[in-house]
Amino acid sequence: MIKQSTFLRRALKALIADGWTLRAVDVPGEAMTKVSTVSEAIKEVAAVDSAVIRLLRNRQQNVASDVPVEGDERGWILAVWQGPDATYKYGEEIISDHSTNLSAVLDPLYDARPLA
């Protein structure tokens, strides 16, 4: 069993290590909140029941730009939050969906069963 914040932190750090950048947390019906750190993203997700974490991978190494350019890759994670002490057996219970271009990074985390 693993705390949801631990798994989400592990997943986001793995994505950052793979070249992804955190961009925003999107809560349906509310304004999108810009985030740049794992802690900021988790804090925003923890404040609601579910949220979409938006990511960007800059293919042209234009890291100084905050504006996506042609060739950039976008990704998203749908995170479901049940409380700070909730524990789970499977990663799919925490990240209930994601864009397919994140599968190469996230699937190995899901496949570590049971989560620890």
pLDDT in tens, 47-62: 888 899 999 987 655 5
Give mean pLDDT, residues 60-65. Answer: 54
Give the residue extent of every domain in the chain: 2-102
* Best CA proximity match to 58, nearest among 44, 69, 46, 43: 69
Give the Cα separation of 100 and 14 in Å (integer). Answer: 15
C-alpha torsion sign, points 9, 36, 17, 95:
positive
pTM, whole model, 2 decimals?
Answer: 0.82
What is the percent of the chain with per-residue pLDDT over 90, rounded to a whole number? Answer: 38
> How far is 28 from 16, CA to CA, in rounded Å?
24
Please name the amino acid found at residue 46. A
pLDDT of residue 26: 93
Question: What is the rounded average pLDDT of the residues 69-76?
Answer: 77
- The sign of the torsion formed by the CA atoms of 60, 33, 9, 86 equals negative
* pLDDT at 17 (0 to 100): 93
